[in-house]
Structure 1
Amino acid sequence: MFSSKKRLNRAYNNAKVIDFDDDSKFILFSDCHRGDNSFADDFANNRNIYYHALKYYYTEGFQYCELGDGDELWENISFTSILNAHKNVYMLMKQFHKENKLHMIWGNHDMVYRNPNYVKKHLSTYFDPKIGEDVELFKDITYHEGIILKHCRTEQELFLTHGHQADWWNFLFWKWSRFLVRILWKPLNVMGIADPTSPAKNYTELIKIEKRAKKWIAENNNLLTIFGHTHRPRFPKPGDIAFFNDGSCVHPRSITGLEIENGAISLIKWHIATKDDGTLQIIRTLLEGPVKLMDYNT
């Protein structure tokens, strides 16, 4: 399948369907790129912001949809090293999973999760050195290429996917990209040199990917579609092509995401702010919305 249209069609046709209504609450994050807490771990700078935000959403009864590239498995060979670096995050995600509120999508940087056997082997349990045996982590979890949120009353659909389907290089040749990242770009990244194959760091490629996505959305009756992958937040106005992007969790000193609550969608940012007395706090800032989902209906 060499066309982005065919790849997106397949992701949509095979997507997991989740029913929701106006009482449902979802938080959508992507591109966490959780690493091993080394100098190359972009997530490490924002992990306290992310943990605080996710704990807020858990307390408030939200469901969590992660739209790919949650784990950085190009730079890191072992999930165990990532788990050990950010165990508090995974223990919180485990709570979502136990309550059937964790919905996972694989991206190009964690493409190995499309293999159910790999997921079962590496994510079902982890070794706890305190008790000297394996402990349950994400038992029976399934990763998907796409998820459709379908409104019970209006039957409106929201299509969630990572978005690398519109990026032929990072979809078809992800193993080659992974090899280059591990051998070449990871050490250069520590020195501040960006990987030119990443759409998040290559504006020309980013625009091409967004154009392909918008074309596919337009050809599918302006289906409300939410991507990650490019790290660029997108929040269209009603009447425009319904192409959303939740941004990423590796922005400098902030994370962005999309909230769905009360039948409406909002773009939000969590970041650190300074109080008048000089102490720091993590706050949530509304960037766009809320806009009723039905305003995007065709």
Structure 2
Amino acid sequence: MSALGKARRIFHGGYLLTKSAFRPIFTSKMTDKTGDYSDTNGLESKTPFLIGVAGGTASGKSTVCQRIMEKLGQQHKDHAERRVVCISQDSFYRSLNPAERLRAERGQFNFDHPDAFDDKKLLAVLKDILAGKKVDIQEYDYVNNSNSSLTHTIYPADVVLIEGILVFYFPEVRDLFHMKLFVDTDSDTRLARRVPRDIMERGRDLEQVLNQYMNFVKPAFEEFCLPTKKFADVIIPRGADNLVAIDLIVHHTWDIMYKKRPGARLVNGCGGEDEATNGRLAIDLIVQHISEYLKRAPREAPAAAEYPGFSSSVPGSPQRSGKIGRPH
């Protein structure tokens, strides 16, 4: 089996796991020209780089997306000016009928089952985004278990993050992503996060939260969410606490946003299936991170960030802390 085969790679003592059996992608802005697609919104058309972020409930998916946007200096920009935007799969829960709504109020409806989502609507919206169109997405009301009347507008951007428990479950949706991340956090941590969140933010009582977790959330995770981990290009242990993994992703995303590499091509908006280049993403991420690290002289303070808000420090690195590092 070649180095670019199906083997999993473990980088920096378990900080980041990458899986090389995936579609190749091109580490460039998706197009060197604007307006490749007809734009019915009167805005500059862009073909975004689509990143899916999956993982169990309260694993830290949205926090990982938030950290990526913060490090790229996008968090506080006006929505129309953002080059990186984030969408939640929760916005695509389907409308419940009266009987289902009653069950939901009692905590007896399974919101973690694939049938709870409108995957056709999600697919249509993502295709519009890939076509460089402006789209309006409804916000989900967790307290009333329904789509609210509030919407937020997603403007054409360079990079679009889509996070959710089942974003890799539906094959047609999964195939649209150029990069797929899986946030892997242990079940005890996820439960400890979910309980106070559902009580304080979603108006539920402790008994209801625990019953829903044991009867629906945990079984659905094991049956539907966890198996999609095998589709991930990058697996992020410990979620947003994994600074090395996030810095690797930020390096790659920054490269897409600001660097243009000639010769990059797309097949139907995505990377083509070319076994000879399988593993390119995993290798590119690691090489980018190591190259950045080696640019600095020993004991030298980190150079000024190349882009807003980004820091590429390596926690626990032997050269910087005086500690003895692992041999691998």
- Give the TM bin, normalised by the shorter chain: under 0.3
Higher RCO (CA-CA < 8 Å; seq separation 6+): 2
The structure that has the greater radius of gyration is: 2
Query: Which structure's residues are more often strand, by fraction?
Result: 1
